[in-house]
Amino acid sequence: MLLTNQVAVITGGAGLNGLGFATARQMAAQGATVVILDLARAEPAAAAARLGEQHLGLVADVTDKAACEAAAAAVLQRFGRIDVLVNNAGITQPVKTLEITGADYDRILDVSLRGTLYMSQAVLPAMRQQRAGSIVCISSVSAQRGGGIFGGPHYSAAKAGVLGLARAMAREFGPEGVRINCITPGLIETDITAGKLSDEKKAEINATIPLNRLGRADDVAGACVFLASSLSAYCTGITLDVNGGMLI
């Protein structure tokens, strides 16, 4: 197993059809003890219980620095270490440039970008002390190609910001044994997309993807396991595209 004795924290991991929960499931199957962080309404404890009693669900809003610190402290108190952080929490809003309000901008950037910073800040002291750790940040193909079907320009900006933040942190913490990498998923079938695409629209999108299908949450989860584990021991600051070839 790839993650035996490892403690993995996954933000936004409570949605049973989401990328975060698929990652939690795969990491637990690889021997990790998983901590799911999410908003109260997403019921992280119930999601963690589905993985088995050794796993933990905690309520934390990643836009709240104190909540991120409290969550990291609770994980350290319970398990004594944090080996993996997956910055997965994110929200989107399908609007165009001229429609974006200041409040929209703040909301989208706060969850994806500020949340990635705050959770990374919360776990980095422990990882630095361990002289080991892997942080995986979920960006998006929207950051690379400029916009998407479900994300507005502010979402693209937030996810592009995640790429820059992750690379800067990778440079800073590499010498201390902490690796920080990004995944840029393409269009993945989750609650964000479910029921929102007609069969015709799906066929139209599939025709633009060399692998000729939308992604599955498990496609992204597998990439997270790779980046969390020693299989990627010499990778830091990389961006792993999981998009079916959309950008070729």
Name the residues annotated as catalytic: 155
Q: How far is the CB of 62 from ligand NAD (least distance, A)?
A: 4
Number of residues in the chain: 248
Range list of β-strands (E), 49-193: 56-59, 84-87, 133-138, 178-185, 188-189
Q: How far is the CB of 146 from ligand NAD (least distance, A)?
A: 14
Q: Which of residues 15-74 bind ligand NAD (CB under 6 A)?
A: 15, 18-20, 38-39, 42, 61-63
Q: How far is the CB of 200 from ligand NAD (least distance, A)?
A: 19
60: which 2 tokens?
A: 């934390």
Q: Which is nearer to ligand NAD, 132 or 197 (CB)?
A: 197
45: which 2 tokens?
A: 């404890």
Count of residues touching ligand NAD (by CB under 6 A): 30
Range list of β-strands (E), the chain: 7-11, 33-38, 56-59, 84-87, 133-138, 178-185, 188-189, 215-216, 239-242
Handedness of CA 50, 52, 55, 56 (dihedral sign): positive
Please state whether 173 falls in left (phi above 0), alpha (psi between -120 and 50) or beta.
alpha
| Contact by Cβ (8 Å): 96, 147 | no
Exposed, middle or buried by CB within 10 Å (0-12, 13-18, 19+), for 68? buried
Of the candidate residues 7, 34, 85, 89, the single one contacting ligand NAD (CB under 6 A): 89
Contact mark string toward ligand NAD, 196..235, x via CB under 6 A: ----------------------------------------
Of the candidate residues 6, 12, 33, 169, the single one contacting ligand NAD (CB under 6 A): 12
Asked whether position 191 contacts ligand NAD by CB under 6 A, the answer is yes
Q: Which is nearer to ligand NAD, 83 or 219 (CB)?
A: 219
Tell me which residue has its CB nearest to ligand NAD: 90
Asked whether position 236 contacts ligand NAD by CB under 6 A, the answer is no
Contacting residues toward ligand NAD, per CB under 6 A? 11-12, 14-15, 18-20, 38-39, 42, 61-63, 88-92, 111-112, 115, 138, 140, 185, 187-188, 190-193
